[in-house]
Chain A
Amino acid sequence: MSSVQTNSGLIAGPTSRAFAMVGGTPLLWRLASLAIFCAVWEIAGRTNFNWAFPTFFETMAALWSMLADGSMIMAYGRTLEPLVIGLVISLSIGVGAGVLMGLRRDAEWITLPIFITMQAAPMAALIPLITFVYGIGLTAKVLAVCMLAMPVIAINSYKAVRNVPPSLVDMSQSFMGSRSQQVFKVILPAASPMMFAGIRLGVAEGFSGVVLAELLITPTGIGDLITFNRSIAKFDHMYAAIFSIVAFAVIAVSLLHRLEITIFRPEKRGA
């Protein structure tokens, strides 16, 4: 088991290593860690070092009231729309382009520089431009999500295909597998762990994108909760909204990892 983990960590980069490590920490430690964090927050809030810093319990109370009156659920309904549309687009184009770049040299030559640029450069700078051109509607927000989520998905899919052990490809060739058998039965399954790691990163980036869009373009959904509550100085509500989106993103990403293991990794189930 441990050898498999280090192996997948090697090819999938720091993030999947990170996910493997979180799974490895005992539950008790994680609970202790959580408790200390909340305690520090609570104490920091009570010292009144900053007039706008609520305590942990105030924030949780605000979170509860927003959940109870439905305003937070409504907000998430609005936020999820561009996020989900953007992620679906990013996934299909990102994975498709990445796999194609991994399999074909000509596709790699023409497309890879674009994705490398997009991944290394601060794409967020384009968000005001997108607003400027596409207005403040759904299109601009979906584009914001795509711009941040797609490059990392494409680059990881590309690297995943490139990192498939050559002996596995040789193997399918020596048993006279056709090119399509080679791709669908060997290369894609072998590439999938790193591809999924990229998808998780992409989803995390997508959350970043939608929050940025809602803060920069026009306050809707969760961005509206943050902006509005700040403007009326209800800081506990503002913190609760921020807390909720961070927690939501982290939970969504780890659920995705869980889902990947149960559906696509029979060898890790129960192990």
Chain B
Amino acid sequence: MELYGFKVPRFTALLFWAALWEFVGQFELLLLFPPLSEVLMALPDVLTTPSFGEAARLTVASYLGGLTLAIVIGVGLGMLMGLVKAADNLLNMWVNIFLSAPLSALVPVIMILFGMGMPTVVVTVFMFAVWIIALDTRAGVLHVSPSLMEMSRSFGASRVARFRIILWSAMPEILAGVRLGVIRGVKGVVIGQLLVSIIGVGALFSLYSQNFLMAHFWALILILFAFALTLADLIARLETRIEYYAGARA
């Protein structure tokens, strides 16, 4: 974006929106938005309460647990689908159904099966993240160049060596899937806790809304958003680092 010949950096647009938010909040134009300054003031308040520490610990722990599970099982499932045609025919449909299904409807089931605690949140994160990882891994495996496979066979590579070649060749797609899984996982960890509602940030949200603490509510949302965007950005950086060899592959 250029304005009168000057390059305007991207992030300045966010400053504009922040200013607009403050304006809307100050003049109480939209009930939804308290002034941004008030929200920022509430930030340290939120960050220092012991219940926030507890919620953060639970959120991070269940997020990492669910995501690890999703990556391990998702990559495994995707590899299986990419390599075994029969498995692909049987599983493909379900992976795609779960990819576009309203997964939040399944959370009540998860709650019954896993109780009203952390395991439910872990499983929710897993359910949100696993399908896209599996699907992208599958796509990556199917895109491995046939000439590369013929090369490895003609040079007498063992099964294990061939498997390693497939895994590395599929890495760009796997990482793309993981990045989407990371973003979906954050949604999962929030939705899971909201629906369970008696633990973690879910409990904090109900606490704040019961006490009409709008600014605190928004502060917590900002923290969650920052968490999500930082994660997405980190993975995107990792991806560009790996891109140079993905480009060489194509």
A contacts with B: majority SS: helix
Contact of B100 among A21, A127, A201 (CB under 8 A): A201
- Which residues of A in the span 224-264 have a Cβ within 8 Å of any Cβ on B? 226-227, 230, 235, 238-239, 242, 245-246, 249-250, 253
Q: Contact flags (1/0) for A89-126 with B, using CB distance below 8 Å?
A: 00000000000000001101110111001011111111
- In this complex, how many residues of chain B approach chain A with their Cβ under 8 Å: the count is 62
A21, A112, A133: the one contacting B31 at CB < 8 Å is A133
Q: Which of A21, A109, A114, A226 contacts B108 (CB 8 A)?
A: A226
The segment out of B43-51, B67-75, B156-164, B185-193 that lies at the interface is: B185-193
Q: A124 contacts which chain B residues (CB < 8 A)? A: 104, 187, 190-191, 194
B13 interface neighbour in A110, A200, A210, Cβ under 8 Å: A110
Report whether B209 and A128 are in contact in the complex, using a CB–CB cutoff of 8 Å.
yes
B93:A25 contact, CB within 8 angstroms: yes
Beyond A21-B92, A215-B108, list 16 extra A-B contacts (CB 8 Å): A32-B89, A117-B225, A122-B186, A122-B189, A122-B225, A125-B221, A126-B221, A127-B194, A128-B194, A129-B209, A133-B31, A134-B32, A207-B101, A215-B105, A235-B112, A245-B105
Cβ of A231 to closest chain B Cβ, rounded Å: 11
- Supposing A18-B99, A126-B221, A249-B102 touch, asked if A215 and B195 sit within 8 A by C-beta, the answer is yes
Is A204's beta carbon under 8 Å from chain B? Answer: yes
Does B96 contact A216, Cβ atoms closer than 8 Å?
A: no
Q: B58 interface residue, CB < 8 Å from A?
A: no
Q: Is B91 an interface residue (CB 8 A)?
A: yes
- Does B94 lie at the interface of the complex (its beta carbon under 8 Å from any beta carbon of A)? yes
> B190 touches which one: A53, A122, A130, A245 (CB < 8 A)?
A122
Q: Which residues of B lie under 8 Å from residue A55 when comparing CB positions?
A: none
Task: Please report the number of residue pairs spanning A and B whose Cβ atoms sit closer than 8 angstroms.
Answer: 173
* Minimal beta-carbon separation of B213 from chain A (angstroms): 10
Quick check: is A74 within 8 A (CB to CB) of the other chain? Answer: no
Q: Does B175 contact A (CB under 8 A)?
A: no
Q: With A121-B224, A121-B229 as known contacts, state yes or no: A129 contacts B217, CB within 8 Å.
A: yes
Residues on the A chain within 8 Å of B126, using CB? none
For residue A32, which residues in chain B have a CB less than 8 angstroms away from its CB? Answer: 89-90
Is A156 located at the chain interface by the 8 A CB criterion? no
Which B residue's beta carbon lies closest to that of A216? B194
Residue of chain B at shortest CB distance from A253: B100
